[in-house]
Amino acid sequence: EAQVTQNPRYLITVTGKKLTVTCSQNMNHEYMSWYRQDPGLGLRQIYYSMNVEVTDKGDVPEGYKVSRKEKRNFPLILESPSPNQTSLYFCASSVRVDGEKLFFGSGTQLSVL
């Protein structure tokens, strides 16, 4: 089954404790992206990647890192999480580098205390 898999589904952590949210897709998509969803703000792009070893900042990249060492994986790293990073995070992928039709994961609800 074609899918984008994120883990974990829920995560509670404390300020400053490094964490990684994993994202994997099995559709051989070139384009992958991370979004955060906050009430009243919709989805805002954090980082995106057009292919292996090619990443770029989205609209809200501060406090986040990503890597794209393999085509299928695109982990999101928070090296020193802060409470304002409490949010619902989505990973998405697309066949085309322009992200025309995005396939989304089920989301990761992160709470930073």
Partner 1 sequence: AQSVTQLDSQVPVFEEAPVELRCNYSSSVSVYLFWYVQYPNQGLQLLLKYLSGSTLVKGINGFEAEFNKSQTSFHLRKPSVHISDTAEYFCAVRDTGRRALTFGSGTRLQVQP
CB-wise, 81 or 99, nearer to partner 1?
99
Nearest approach in angstroms of CB 41 to partner 1 is: 6
**Which CB atom, from 53 or from 59, has the smaller least distance to partner 1?**
59
CB distance 89 to 110 below 8 Å: yes
Site string for partner 1, 23-42 (x = CB under 8 A): --------x-x-x----xxx
Which backbone phi and psi does 85 adopt, to 5 degrees? -95, 5
φ, ψ of residue 101 to 5 degrees: the values are -120, 110
What beta strand segments (E) does the chain contain? Answer: 4-7, 10-13, 19-25, 31-38, 42-51, 54-57, 65-66, 76-78, 87-94, 103-104, 108-112
The contact pattern for partner 1, residues 40-79, with x = CB under 8 A and - = no contact, is: xxxxxx--x-x-------xx--------------------
For partner 1, the binding residues (CB under 8 A) are: 4, 31, 33, 35, 40-45, 48, 50, 58-59, 90, 92, 97-107
